[in-house]
Amino acid sequence: MLKTLFTCCLILLASASCATPPALTLNSHDAMKIGQKIWHNEGLGKVENLTVWNKGEEFPSLGIGHFIWYPAGVTGPFEESFPQLITSLRQERTLPQWLINTHQAPWSSREHFYAEINSPRMNELRQLLQETIPQQTAVIVKRMEAALPKMVASLSNKSQRQHVEQQFYRVANQPNGLYALIDYVNFKGEGTSLKERYNNQGWGLLQVLESMPGKEDAMVEFARAADFVLTRRVQNAQRDESRWLPGWRNRLKSYLPE
């Protein structure tokens, strides 16, 4: 069942003067709205886009959050998230046996994937993903729950930790803030993994919060900082990722006040 309470627990900072931040709550109705927005961001809300393999990538992206599933023998810099979804779904419903027995993506290439795009197995997978939107949203929200402690723990400098915490709550307290935080973590990660770096520079939520000056409208700053770190990622990438930037920027616009 989708969680009705979304609580981001802050790792206690060394300074005793730091007040304990308030809990952040997300009811089931708002969580479902966020899930639908994420599905639209990732796949335009279309069932056929629940199972895709993007050109130039070595893995399929599945579900409303485009959860990554690596084929056998493939490793990459991005966190593999589809197996976590399967583990969560198994606790609530009976899954197809082939999915339970398959620990790595059963398609060896993008060509193999699309050769089977209308196979019984693929249709079964799309049906499962269409029926479990609340559960997928819950997995995405759960990742957000752990994001702030993870980001704070990765920083050794006290002032940096305080800045990241302050920017996080500035965004979270805005009408569109929780959606933006949840979506960005699902979209580009927490930014704490050393594997997710180009030229030692990340593009996750941590880097976005670090880049916010904290002086103007929180959502405007957040979108602008996200644009900065994503543009830097494209500039640092060894392969050409410029084709993704216009779509990323359109996504960032959904974070801005209406």
User: What does the pLDDT look like over 176-188, one tens digit per residue?
Assistant: 898 999 999 988 9
pLDDT value of residue 6:
44
pLDDT value of residue 24:
59
More confident residue, 258 or 212: 212
Confidence band (pLDDT; 50, 70, 90) for 91? very high
Sheet holding 61-62, edge to edge: 51-52, 61-62, 67-68
**Strands, DSSP E only, in the chain?**
51-52, 61-62, 67-68
Q: What is the pLDDT of residues 13-42, one digit of tens each?
A: 333 234 445 555 667 788 788 888 899 988
DSSP H or E run through 210:
helix 205-210
Residue type, 187: F
pLDDT value of residue 180:
94
Look up tokens 């580009």; give the residue. 188
pLDDT value of residue 26:
66
Classify residue 226 as exposed, middle or buried by CB count within 10 Å of its CB (0-12, 13-18, 19+): buried
pLDDT value of residue 19:
40
Non-local CB neighbours of 133 within 8 Å, separated by 6+ positions: 32, 35, 36, 39, 64
Please state, rounded to an integer, the average pLDDT across all residues of the chain.
Answer: 88
Look up tokens 């670090």; give the residue. 210
The pLDDT of residue 90 is above 70: yes
| Most confident by average pLDDT, 184-193, 218-227, 249-258 | 218-227
For the ranges 70-79, 158-167, 212-221, which has the lowest average pLDDT?
70-79
Confidence band (pLDDT; 50, 70, 90) for 110? very high
Q: What is the DSSP letter of 195?
A: T
Q: What is the pLDDT of residues 111-152, one digit of tens each?
A: 999 999 999 999 999 999 999 988 898 888 888 888 999 999
Ramachandran angles phi, psi of 148, nearest 5°: -65, -50
pTM of the model: 0.74
pLDDT value of residue 79:
83
Q: What is the rounded average pLDDT of the residues 158-163?
A: 96
pLDDT value of residue 25:
62
Q: Are strands 51-52 and 61-62 parallel, antiparallel or unpaired?
A: antiparallel
Non-local CB neighbours of 115 within 8 Å, separated by 6+ positions: none
Q: What is the rounded average pLDDT of the residues 206-222?
A: 96
pLDDT value of residue 137:
87
Taking the C-alpha atoms of residue 192 and residue 155, their distance in angstroms, rounded to an integer, is: 9
Taking the C-alpha atoms of residue 257 and residue 240, their distance in angstroms, rounded to an integer, is: 31
Q: In sequence order, what are the beta bridge partners of 198? A: 201
pLDDT value of residue 3:
40
